[in-house]
Structure 1
Amino acid sequence: MQILVTGGAGYIGSHTCLELLQAGYDVVVVDNLSNSKEEPLRRIQEITGKSLQFESTDLLDKPGLDRIFAQYDISAVIHFAGLKAVGESVAKPLYYYQNNVAGTLNLSEVMAKHQVKDLVFSSSCTVYGDPRSVPIQEDFPLSATNPYGRSKLMIEHILSDLHAADPSWNIALLRYFNPVGAHISGRIGEDPHGIPNNLLPYISQVAVGRLPQLSVFGGDYPTRDGTGVRDYIHVVDLAVGHIKALQKLAAKPGLAVWNLGTGQGYSVLEVIAAFEKASRHTIAYEIVERRPGDVAATYADPTKAKSELGWEAVRSLDEMCEDVWRWQSQNPQGYEST
């Protein structure tokens, strides 16, 4: 049973590939390496003692995709590939729509041609916009506040329409919250290009001296300490959630939506304190003005995933921070150090 993983060399994709291999699946990775490196794929194979196939192909290369589906016996697709920086999406909206939306259209058309109709899509809690309340349930109203979020929402609509037109498709839309952490080996983790956009990589780079201090955007939110509250989920828990969704597709559920989160919100200052405990380093930070488009608090109601997938997040914030610190301290320059 070969599973095609688009964006499999990326942060979440690489951890999911590792879990797939350990669960006994054969894995084919498609990644253009525009925001990732091939090194984690090599390390995954070392950790698991199993091999995977890698195709350096862009989803915008439709003939290339067609060749891959003809070459391998693919039974299902987990689709991670996409651009994901909110600020960049505001500056380059056409780039984001072309890459994320057109790439998914190509993928879907090639899948249909080859009669591969089981798809797990990596969506995002950004499709909830500024939620009316928390915790967030799957039936909440959908909206988006930036081109990145809108590209995810457009893809959800496209896949929903695809299933409505052809009910033989089985599609899981996984809306997840804030992935953090790293594999317990310390061998693979998050290695963003340039200045990190996400909190934990930024904090960890401050701890190893790559960055001078953390800017905390907003200290006057209506939260317990004034800083933004988010649902941070360990990337390995998230990877396991993708396998649970993949297994669920075998039961032919049609189109299904699940939140993947912990149901627990942590503030920026609480995350800083947990990381200081894990790393035994003091994190220099400064509270600055709010960032446009940020909301005070978002966290998931993961009840549906627990009841329907038999999945729940089990790793604590302390474990997330310990694993990030193990990865960053062993790989201070990320994958560049190899």
Structure 2
Amino acid sequence: MAIPPNTEYKGRFAPSPSGLLHFGSLVCAVASYLDAKANHGKWLIRIEDIDTQRCRPELHSVIIDSLASHGLLSDEVILTQSLELDRYENALEQLSKRNLIYACDCSRKQIKSRSPHYDGYCSARNLSFTQGRALRLNNKNTYEHFVDRILGPCYIENSMNIEDIILKRTDHCFAYNLVVVLDDIYQGISHVVRGADLLETTTLQMYLHRIFDAPLLQYAHIPVASTKPGFKLSKQNHAKEIDPKKALNNLVSALIYLGFSHEQLKAFEKIETLLCFAIDQWRINLVAKEREFIISGANDVYSDFISESLAN
């Protein structure tokens, strides 16, 4: 799907410092970067460290440096979520004044005993917002579908669409779906290019945008890199980190994953010229309309995947 003329484009890549960048992370970074630059837009880096229990502060600079080694530099000051807590709290106060959130003291065991997903049990109990209670969204979402720039029309049918999801956990940690929307609004993001593992969150995030009277974004979901069906490359699955010293090879691998041919890329010897070429040639319809690609994790640039799956 082409970007309408005169539309100001601002995209972002938002890594979590719970581990180092892996090949799947790089693919998302490159895709979002190319789409922004090819549409004469800005590309931002955001550090998603809202879950302080899982994130490692010492990796912030390592991730940013790794992206820089691959020629991927933020066009604005990098936002770090752990420094934005007051803004998130203010947003919750706005929702509270509008009676759009409520406190919940249900345990997972209690919820599971009643229903496969949360059933709104606490919505009419008028519990106070005290320590040890989660804050849930009074969910009136009517968004069920959207048009993805890669996958086309997408219909989302899952419990998250209608469930009163948690916006702030019992440990006082703000939930991902809240802060990602607040940050996209705050930074003026217009387009999101990300992995298809987040596809099901899209209509809920659209609803949150509407709650905050913000314009809806355009979304594009790229295939998730997996080593076997349903087993995506991730920090939790101990995916091997990319080596910044092999940045040129890493970029070639990522570009082939995104639909470029090895023949197009084999002559490039510098990152700068490779990225300039990729920006000039980028089209969102290069990306396969798939939810997942199975690749080999034989090494950190996944050469087996290139030679066996895409180079042909």
Instruction: Give the TM-score, by structure 2 length.
Output: 0.28
Q: Which has the higher Rg, Structure 1 or Structure 2? A: 2
Which structure has the higher relative contact order (CA within 8 Å, separation 6+)?
Answer: 2
